[in-house]
Structure 1
Amino acid sequence: MSVPTLFLIAGEPSGDALGARLMASAKRLTGGRVRFQGIGGEKMIAEGLESLFPMGELTLFGIFELLPHLPNLIRRIDQTVAAVLRDRPDAVIGIDSPGFTVRVAKKLRAAAPELPLIHYVAPTVWAWKPKRAAKYAAIYDHLLAILPFEPPYFEREGLACTFVGHSVVEGGAGKGDAARFRREHGLTPDDRLVTMLPGSRKGEVSRLLPDFRATLERLLPTHPGLVAVVPTVATVRDRVAAAVAGWPLRVILVEGDSAKYDAFAASEAALAASGTVALELALARLPTVIAYRLNPVTVALYRRLIRVKYVNLVNLMLDRMLVPELLQQDCRPDRLAEELGRLLDDPQARQKQIDGVAEVARWLGQGDTPPSERAARVILDIVAHHHPNPETGEARP
């Protein structure tokens, strides 16, 4: 096996970013002698993946949001399993999105027990559903963890687990160019930018954008010169553009990481849906308010299972509420405006966040070996040991 084939499965934009960085690192480590198959989005496609079907079909969340799409999801699971069994890659790597990737892996474990199965991003068993550790141990050969305290949860169940660091530190979130952003968009020194991040799923943007608009309407009378910057992704671009077209202030819609990070650098504060972007904002040292709302029935079910006090990883790692979280009934315009206004008006509140997230950035792996390189090395090593050199019988270097 001179050129390994890796089958990667990502189901949402954050996983697409992880997959793309993993692919780029694998190409660097092998001098380009690696092939890719699987499912991914625009970033993985740009790295050379021909996606089996559009990744957007898997970008679902919440029990009731998922139900109407269940028949198609089952069909895509079977299609993915069939593709792996037909092409026999050297390893299958599921990237987060457990609702899809775990189901695929479970079928593959039964049909091809010799096939190396790897999962990238450990499930948050420390937050909810701790029995998932044993479930993953029964399916996977190796787990790649993004947080330093995660491996013991899985190793005690007999599953090999390697901490590789959080790939978000590789995205350049803290390297945006504020001057470039202001110049490109004709902004004046009096313009006060606020970044609004309503999420990357259709349900998220539909629920949050009306509240984000109402929040800005409350702030406008006392904060002249406000400009909203709304980074978005291809999966929800049209929906977001239509929603912000009628907002009562200037809105700058941007796509792509470079423009998003420039917007972070140029902004005074952010209002964001809970998710990976909250870590990017922390790395950019941009003071933030976190907002989120789910279907009430979904939340009622989840609350019986969740074992942590916070939803934002920054707060979880610090074990204190550094970044305000306004969830469910607290996710309403008056409360959002109060917290966002505090960040706009109170230098001490801003500096408190900036100082606190610096420690989190170090824990995530900022300034060390790139996490995607660590992950790629683990995967390539697993493949090499699974396919020994036919001449010597030893694992390939």
Structure 2
Amino acid sequence: AKTADAVLLIDSPAFNLPLAKAMREAGVKAPITYYILPQVWAWKPKRVEKVEKFCDNLASILPFDEKFYSRAVYVGHPLLDELKFKKEKLINSSKIAFLPGSRRSEIIRLMPIYREVAKDIKDKEKLLVIPPFLIDKVAEFYGDVSEFNIVNEAPKALYESEFAFVCSGTATLEAALIGTPFVLCYKAKAIDVWLARKLVKVKYAGLANIMYDFMGKGALHDELIQEQVSALNLLNAYKNCDKDKFLTGCNELRAYLKHGSSVNVAKFLMPSRQE
């Protein structure tokens, strides 16, 4: 690392903050860029001091990071590099997407409810989105998937679907930026949720809703958390959804995030090539 021209740290503060400290103590002179900053707006605000002490460039992917970091520079959001397409109008595709997450604990808790919901939704093609790295573990992680057609491209499935049931995480923001109406579903261990409610300082679980809150707006989508995650509640969210607001929400979020981040991050690493 001592001979490097630049250092790029990406997300993962539990790993990257000690690494940044160790590099500084080892005398690394290369500028350190931290990309995808720790979510201090949600929890662990003390990380601000460490990030600003050990890192030269703070490359933020959320416009409101600048409220919490004195040197954060908003570079854009990586999903806007990836998602070049969005819905221009609502579609009745007769497809419904089910995204149960990528962690085994999430999948095991959501799949029995998703199966029940899928059985109750008639005359629709049900797409079960499975990450490519789990395609060989369907039986172990997902159980009976006879109600579903298995796909592994989340953005494509969301774009093709008229509605989606989405586990909390990046996929909720993907759905919002594509313009697909959806409901967030999150079910975890009771102790994990208890700790989160004690420690996490934001009102919502979904990134789109968190952004809307920082914009001073009400929630874009419904959130069903813990005991609220039942087949009846999921079906009611599907049947009673105000789908029109998701097209407006898609455009508002894209305007808020402005652009992708890859080009601007590269400028930190190669400042001599800036035009």
**If the length of structure 2 is used for normalisation, what is the TM-score?**
0.86
Q: 2:240 matched to which residue of 1?
A: 342
Q: CA deviation at 1:273?
A: 1.2
> 1: CA distance between counterparts of 2:274 and 2:79?
31
Aligned equivalents of 2:261, 2:63: Cα separation in 1: 12
2:29 maps to 114
Q: Alpha-carbon deviation of 1:244?
A: 5.0
Q: 2:181 matched to 1:266?
A: no
Other-structure match for 1:22: none
Higher relative contact order (CA 8 A, sep 6+): 2
- Report the equivalent of 2:20: 105
Contact 1:269 1:340 survives alignment (8 Å): yes
Say yes or no: does 1:326 pair with 2:241: no
Q: Secondary structure at the match of 2:34?
A: strand
How many angstroms apart in 2 are the aligned matches of 1:315 and 1:152?
A: 18
Residue 149 of structure 2 corresponds to: 252
TM normalised by structure 1 equals 0.61
Corresponding residue of 1:127: 42
Code of the aligned partner of 1:200? S
TM-superposed deviation, 1:303: 1.7
CA contact (8 A) 1:264 1:281 kept: yes
The one-letter amino acid paired with 1:252 is N
Change (3 A) 1:255 1:396: closer
Question: Which residue in the other structure is 1:164 paired with?
Answer: 75
Deviation at 1:128, TM superposition (A): 2.1
Gap regions ≥5 residues in structure 1: 1-83, 177-188, 344-348, 385-394
C-alpha contact (below 8 Å) 1:174/1:284 kept by paired residues: yes
- Once the two structures are superposed, the pairs formed by residues 113-262 of structure 1 within 5 Å of their partners are 113-155=28-70, 160-172=71-83, 174-175=85-86, 192-217=94-119, 219-220=120-121, 224-240=122-138, 246-249=144-147, 251-256=148-153, 260-262=154-156
Which residue in 2 is equivalent to 1:80? Answer: none
Contact 2:86–2:179 (Cα < 8 Å) also in 1: no
Distance 1:356 1:301, change over 3 A: same
Q: Deviations over 1:133-189 (max 9, x none)?
A: 11211222221111222124211xxxx32101111012126358xxxxxxxxxxxx9
Number of corresponding residues:
270
User: Residue 26 of structure 2 aligns to which amino acid in structure 1?
Assistant: A
Alignment check: 8 A CA contact 1:282 1:357 kept = yes
1:255 aligned partner, one-letter code: N
1:248–1:316 distance in 2 versus 1, CA, 3 Å: same
Q: Aligned AA for 1:353?
A: F
Equivalent residue letter for 2:83: G
What is the RMSD computed on CA atoms of the aligned residues?
A: 2.8
SS at match of 1:279: helix
> Highest Rg: 1 or 2?
1
Aligned-partner residue type, residue 99 of structure 1:
A
In structure 2, C-alpha distance between the alignment counterparts of 1:135 and 1:335, rounded to whole Å: 42
Q: Structure 2 regions of 5+ residues with no counterpart? A: none
CA, structure 1 residues 204+106, in 2 after alignment: closer, same or farther (shift >3 Å)?
farther
Matched, 1:376 2:269: no
Shift of 1:350: 0.8
The amino acid of 1:171's aligned partner reads E
Paired residue for 1:94? 9
After TM superposition, give the deviation of residue 191 of structure 1 in Å: 7.0
